[in-house]
Amino acid sequence: MTEPATFLRIRDLRIGFGSGHEAVRGVDLSAERGETVALVGESGCGKSLTALALLGLLPPGASATGSAVLDGTELVGRDERALRRIRGARAGMVFQDPMSSLNPTTPVGAQIAEVLAIHTRMSRSARRRRAVELMESVGIPDAAARARQMPHQLSGGMRQRVMISIALAGRPDLLIADEPTTALDVTVQAQVLALLRERARDTVLLFITHDMGVVAEIADRVAVMYAGRIVETGPVRAVLDAPRHPYTAALLRSVPDPDRPVAGELPTIPGQVPAAGERIEGCPFRPRCARATDRCLTPPDLTPDETGGSVACWHPHELTEAAS
């Protein structure tokens, strides 16, 4: 290899459906151990599919090509047995709705212990003790008593903590969190974000969200997705303070800030995200972009700039330009 090894490196990941519709259209992304990368974009842009492909959990009918290498292990195109081993030992996932992944009729402690049975050779009683310890470690008060409760007896925040403890039980190298706080109150969201920040110090955390406010709270780096492609990446401060892609800039402007009320109307992005399967010539953002020119009829590639970021745009905002 000529390039330095990167802990997680995704190359030209494409996800298509039988109909010929390509929902993820060539994603490149890399991350170092301990880094939190936020994958951000509007619904339907391909965030969840990208994450699911890394774990071999794509929905029926979807197939992935390209490559994703996690510390030497290829994740794309593996058979189910290999994938199960990877999911157990190397990668964990937390979803928006913990109820969809928890068994409603089994006490939560027993569910954590079950996961430990897959990863470890602990005895039954040791697993049960460890499950309670894990629950304590994710900030669940009164963990011994909570361990005996059913998922529906816990609050949404507590359930998400249980999911996080399950995802972390195998000490994964990669933790994927897909909108894990979208359904929670802001107060509980702040707690769960703090927990993830603390517990993801040794893993790659791929954090999926549509909320730039959450990005600001959790990410080291940001990757902005639009219509199945990454259109901008960079260090979180650089991207949020001085977005270069017109879509990133527009997305940021449309988020109201409780400390900085705007007079009059909230800025919006004209038009809509392209419908599934809709073909757009050139840059996919072109129909909604105020900076578009004839040059944009050729699709721009994601090109590195001097800030440590990359942008896929022929006419990005200048680094010095206040994108407002």
Ligand X SMILES: Nc1ncnc2c1ncn2[C@@H]1O[C@H](COP(=O)(O)OP(=O)(O)O)[C@@H](O)[C@H]1O
Residues that bind other proteins (CB under 8 A): 42-43, 155-158, 185-191, 194, 197, 210-217, 236-237, 240-241, 250-252, 254-259, 261-262, 265-269, 272
Q: Which is nearer to ligand SF4, 207 or 226 (CB)?
A: 226
- DSSP helix, strand, coil percent of the chain (3-state; round to 5): 35, 20, 45
| Start-to-end CA span in the chain (Å) | 42
**Contact partner at residue 59 from ligand SF4, Mg ion, ligand X, none, CB < 5 to 8 Å by partner kind:** ligand X
What's the gap between Cα 34 and its chain centre?
A: 15
Based on the shown chain and the rule CB under 6 A, indicate whether residue 317 belongs to the binding site for ligand X: no
Q: Which is nearer to other proteins, 63 or 254 (CB)?
A: 254
Of residues 248, 258, 241, 257, the one with CA closest to residue 210: 248
- For 239-263, the DSSP string reads HHHS--SHHHHHHHHTS-BTTBPPS
Least gap, CB of 226 to other proteins (angstroms): 11
What's the gap between Cα 185 and its chain centre?
A: 20
**Contact partner at residue 300 from ligand X, ligand SF4, Mg ion, none, CB < 5 to 8 Å by partner kind:** ligand SF4
Q: Count helices and strands (H / E) in the chain.
A: 10, 12
- Sketch the per residue contact string, 32 through 71, with Mg ion: x for CB under 5 A, - otherwise: ----------------x-----------------------
Based on the shown chain and the rule CB under 6 A, indicate whether residue 43 belongs to the binding site for ligand X: yes
Q: Is 315 exposed, middle or buried (0-12, 13-18, 19+ CB in 10 A)?
A: middle
- Judged by CB under 5 A, the chain residues 238 through 257 that form the site for Mg ion are none
**Residues in the site for ligand X, rule: CB under 6 A?**
17, 23, 41, 43-49, 59, 61, 276
